[in-house]
Amino acid sequence: MTPPILQLRVAVTTSDYEKLVSFYQNGLGLDPAALWTDMGRAVIYDMGRATLEIFDEQQAASVDQLEAEQRVSGPIRFALQVPNVDAALERALANGATLVHKPVTTPWGDYNARIKSPDGLQITLFQAPEKE
């Protein structure tokens, strides 16, 4: 049976295209999957498996408390699973991200760091515990 949704795409609009493209390519290490230049400029990055999480305010506040010690995220926050949070954090910070909170270990065992992209979008970098 074909699922009702085949792909999730998130479109981020920015007034500083070059800066944001540089952050995603250099700061997060993503390679462009497609470029569009016919009506303006756009880039698509393949970011692996996608899920959509919908939180109520209490859940958002709980996650923010764990990751940043206070309610700080807006209505949209990316959570990107990375192989090594410390390395990903260092790379992101060197390429325009700002630290929202240093890495923490969550009650479910993930190792999470919270950053803000150059355009202000909050991003959780998370590393799942290794399976034994």
Model pLDDT, residue 36: 94
Q: Is the dihedral of CA 88, 94, 99, 104 positive or negative?
A: positive
Model pLDDT, residue 4: 83
Q: Work out the angle at residue 90's Cα, subtended by the Cα atoms of residues 86 and 92, and round it to the nearest 5 degrees.
A: 115
Give the residue ranges of the chain where pLDDT is below 50.
Answer: none
Model pLDDT, residue 6: 80
Model pLDDT, residue 117: 97
SS3 content of the chain, % helix, strand, coil (to 5): 25, 25, 50
Model pLDDT, residue 118: 96
Q: Could you tell me the domains of the chain? A: 17-127 (3.10.180.10)
Q: What is the pTM (predicted TM-score) of this model?
A: 0.90
* 88 in Cβ contact with 95 (< 8 Å): no
